[in-house]
Amino acid sequence: MAGSTINQMPAINATPKWIPPPIALETFVYAGDENEFENLLRYTKNGYHPVILGDVLLKPQTCVSDENMQPRYRILLKLGFGAFGTVWLARDLVEERNISIKIRSGSATPCPSTEGRVLRWVRDNGLGCRGHDRILHFYDSFIIQGPNGFHECLVTEVVAPICELIWDRTASRFMIQLIGDPHTGNFGIAVPHLHQLDEEIIIDFISNPEVMPVVPHDPQFPMHTIPAYQTPTTDITKLLAEEKALPTTAEANIKILDFGRAHWVDEPLPELHGAVPAQIRPPEVEVYRRSAGKEGSAWSEAADVWAFALSLCELRLEPLISRWDDTLRSAIKFGGPAPRSWLQYCNEGTDVSLRTRDEVWSRRVKLFSKSPKDMDSLLNVVKLMVVTAPNDRCSMADVLSYLCP
């Protein structure tokens, strides 16, 4: 969660077909689409923990944080994966409810993560605080030891990705709820009705899943470090729709999911490179990254404003900046003139003879001409946030007043 702090409580785009890196195909016989299957090369020292459907966490004699903890969470399907680890839908066999369990990437020592500490603090101390109902409900955590290191497991409520089945694009209440985190990948919709769906219903929904066998070329590959097969990521909104368990627009409650980079205000700001996708990263942060800190600036509240604006476009219209472009050049196009020294950090061969900002926005507005009429006012707000000079961007308070006049 980029730049989020505890005192402020705190989309899915189609992508071209993924071609696995050559090294992955050199190591394994099969490799799949990155939208469905995690990179098998992540199953290594301090990497992913191998899990298959039906596993019950934790396994005997694997818990290092509580030696008395018994097997409790049965894995039902895979919800997602990323740099942090993997996320699974599981059945809590004690509470008889469905939960989400994030198995974080491994480490050399059994230390609780900042994310776990933050979620526990919010649960134990945040009740009644403003924004508490926007935070993912945290139930439990424990640390297991596996072939790839020590892995913290975070047990939380299950949330669904923001999608057309849930989100009414004309509902301003959604935009208001999104204020607080600039990264669309950190948002989800609470789905309380999922908690009590029978386990048999979920199993029937994913009956006979098309798993991918894991077959290394090298017969001496350490098979204990990888799962026997890969499980495709499942979109639970389809299951919820079938069971009429999706919240209505009026009921929907957006949750903030990822606290891996959250910090307390009295602690030094953690490293934030890569905290948000490059296509929503503000120009001063991208210049700071490309210049190794010589120019530009690190993440700030003004950076949150920029990233939030581009996230709004991504959710309500279409991405303002493509990840296939030189994101710095595109950011300057929409944000306006930048210090000339910044242009040297645009990718080699990139045309930096930029049009005027008004011309760039005029061309983009024409692309949005078929959007709902209320998009004009949204674009006017976005333009106040997408400004190259951080000090010239409007504040989040101003954004809130524009959205709720």
Asked if 114 and 105 count as a contact pair (C-beta separation under 8 A), the reply is: no
Whole-number Å distance between alpha carbons of 121 and 141? 13
Assess contact for 23 and 41: CB atoms under 8 A.
yes
- Residue 7's pLDDT is 40
Residue 15 has pLDDT above 60, yes or no: no
Residue 281 has pLDDT above 80, yes or no: yes
**Rounded distance, CA 396 to CA 132, Å?**
19
Give the pLDDT of residue 272.
Answer: 52
The mean per-residue pLDDT over the stretch 105-130 comes to: 89
Residue 364 pLDDT grade (very low, low, confident, very high; cuts 50, 70, 90): confident
Pairwise CA distance, residues 160 & 357, whole Å: 37
At residue 101, the 3 state secondary structure works out as strand
- pLDDT tens digits along 306-340: 988 888 787 776 788 887 778 898 899 899 989 98
26-40, 124-138, 194-208, 362-376: least confident range: 362-376
Q: Would you say residue 266 has pLDDT above 90?
A: no
Q: Average of pLDDT values for 118-131?
A: 86
- DSSP symbols for 326-378: -HHHHHHHHH----GGGGGGSPTT----PPPHHHHHHHHHHHTTTS-TTHHHH
Helix (H) or strand (E) holding 67: none
90-104, 290-304, 371-385: which is most confident: 90-104
Whether 252 contacts 176, CB under 8 Å = no
- As separate numbers, helices (DSSP H) first and strands (DSSP E) second, the chain gives 11, 11
17-26, 97-106, 202-211, 390-399, range with greatest mean pLDDT: 97-106
Q: What is the arithmetic mean of pLDDT over 34-55?
A: 93
pLDDT value at residue 319: 82
Q: Select, from the ranges 70-79, 172-181, 248-257, the one with the highest average predicted confidence (pLDDT).
A: 70-79
Give the number of C-alpha atoms closer than 13 A to the C-alpha of residue 64, restricted to the C-beta side. 15
- Please report the pLDDT score of residue 5 as a whole number: 39
Give the domains, in start order, of the chain with CATH numbers. 6-163+187-256 (3.30.200.20), 278-403 (1.10.510.10)
Q: How far is CA 136 from CA 128, 198, 254, in A?
A: 15, 22, 9
Between 63-72, 220-229, 291-300, 321-330, the lowest mean confidence (pLDDT) is in: 321-330
Tens digit of each residue's pLDDT (9 = 90 or more) over 154-209: 999 998 877 655 555 445 555 566 655 555 567 788 888 888 789 999 989 888 88
Band (pLDDT 50/70/90 cuts) for residue 374 is low
Contact 84, 106 (CB under 8 A): no
Which residues fall within 8 angstroms of residue 5, CB to CB, at 6 or more apart?
Answer: 262, 263, 264, 265
**Residue 4: per-residue pLDDT:** 41
In angstroms, rounded to a whole number, what is the distance separating the alpha carbons of residues 178 and 311? 9
Residue 258: both structure tokens together? 């990822």
Question: Pick the residue with more confidence: 117 or 319?
Answer: 117
Phi, psi for residue 371 in degrees, rounded to 5: -80, 165
- For the chain, give the mean pLDDT: 81
pLDDT at position 9 is: 37
Residue 376 in this model has a pLDDT that exceeds 80: no
Q: Distances from the Cα of 163 to the Cαs of 95, 189, 191, 371, in angstroms?
A: 29, 9, 13, 17
The answer on pLDDT for 12 being more than 90 is no
Long-range contacts from 264-273, C-beta under 8 angstroms, 24+ separation: 264/5, 264/6, 265/5, 265/6, 265/7, 269/3, 269/298, 269/299, 270/114, 272/2, 272/3, 272/298, 272/299
Question: According to the model, what pLDDT value does residue 166 have?
Answer: 54
- Calculate mean pLDDT across residues 43-49: 96
